[in-house]
A = this chain, B = another copy of it.
Amino acid sequence: MGRFSASAKKVSGPRTGAAGRKMPAKSVAERIQRGDLFAVSCPSREVMKHITSSWGVLVLIALRDGTLRFSELRRKVAGVSERMLAQTLQWLEGDGLVERHAYPVVPPHVEYTLTPMGEEAAALVAGLGDWIEQNVTKMPSFRD
């Protein structure tokens, strides 16, 4: 990680909190090393969609307890259809956050596990979920 130049060091501050500032020109290394949620076509937008989708949030949180089968996930994440669960898991697998392990048996037996990177994401997501659960009762919309 010592590959950054001096100007790269400047940009590596709290980038997200500096959304309103003019971004300094990015070197090629910077462009390759980091996404930018505020850029319309940045791939990070797609990943964010997957992670922050309703089902994505709940699946990541549920998997924090350890490996789960498709049907176990289906039951824990109340309200999700098989269709949406399958799609969500495909996305998260494609993002490298979830590992899928299929056994060569019938009926199908498939297990899903968080990758190390998935565990990081899930921890952040769980923190947000926790915050929402703790604060929802204070919200005006809740009192209506």
Interface of A toward B, CB cutoff 8 Å: 14-21, 32-40, 42-49, 51-54, 57-58, 61-62, 64-66, 68, 76-79, 94-96, 117, 120-121, 124-142
Interface class of chain A by DSSP: helix
Residues of B within 8 A of A132 (CB): 35, 37, 44, 47-48, 51, 121
Residues B140 and A34 in contact, CB atoms below 8 Å apart: no
Nearest-Cβ distance from residue A67 to partner chain B, whole angstroms: 11
Which of A19, A33, A131, A137 has the largest count of B CB atoms less than 10 A from its CB? A19
Cα(A43)–Cα(B124), bound, Å: 21
Residues B34 and A134 in contact, CB atoms below 8 Å apart: yes
Task: Give me 15 A-to-B residue pairs in the complex whose CB atoms sit less than 8 angstroms apart, sorted by A's number.
Answer: A16-B61, A16-B133, A17-B126, A19-B61, A19-B76, A20-B66, A35-B134, A37-B129, A44-B136, A47-B141, A51-B132, A52-B52, A117-B135, A124-B128, A125-B128
Residues A15 and B130 in contact, CB atoms below 8 Å apart: yes
Cα(A46)–Cα(B133), bound, Å: 11
Residue of B nearest to A128 (CB): B124
Residues A38 and B76 in contact, CB atoms below 8 Å apart: yes
Nearest-Cβ distance from residue A82 to partner chain B, whole angstroms: 16
Nearest-Cβ distance from residue A123 to partner chain B, whole angstroms: 9
